[in-house]
Amino acid sequence: MPGRYSRGLTRVSLASFVMASFSPRCEIRQLAVFVYPGGIKAPDAERITVFYGRRGRPVKKPRFIPAQLAHQLARKLQAKRLGTVAVL
């Protein structure tokens, strides 16, 4: 059946193409900043977690935002030296 597989894909390459396209990935992330009130990041130190939303402002509970925006905001927050920035 020559017309069944378009673009010259064989059964083997078609199977590997389909398997490769369904890899587990997440396009949305959460942005959090961990602040240490004493200024010292130690194992027993108190930690305050602040989540950020789409507009780059703190929110009360974790919000999902697009991954590209989360990484962009993380770079801006790292420059401010507020604490440890994490994209979850």
* 6 in a structural domain: no
Q: Using an 8 Å Cβ cutoff, are 41 and 78 in contact?
A: no
Which pLDDT does position 10 carry in this prediction? 52
* 66 in a structural domain: yes
Per-residue pLDDT band at 8 (split at 50, 70, 90): low
Nearest Cα to Cα of residue 31 among 4, 57, 2: 57
| Average confidence (pLDDT) over 38-67 | 89
* pTM score: 0.65
* 62 in a structural domain: yes
* 9 in a structural domain: no
Count of domains forming the chain:
1
Residue range(s) defining the domain that contains residue 55: 26-87
Q: Using an 8 Å Cβ cutoff, are 53 and 59 in contact?
A: yes
Q: Using an 8 Å Cβ cutoff, are 50 and 38 in contact?
A: no
Across the chain, where does the E strand assignment appear?
A: 28-29, 31-35, 48-52, 58-59, 65-66, 84-87
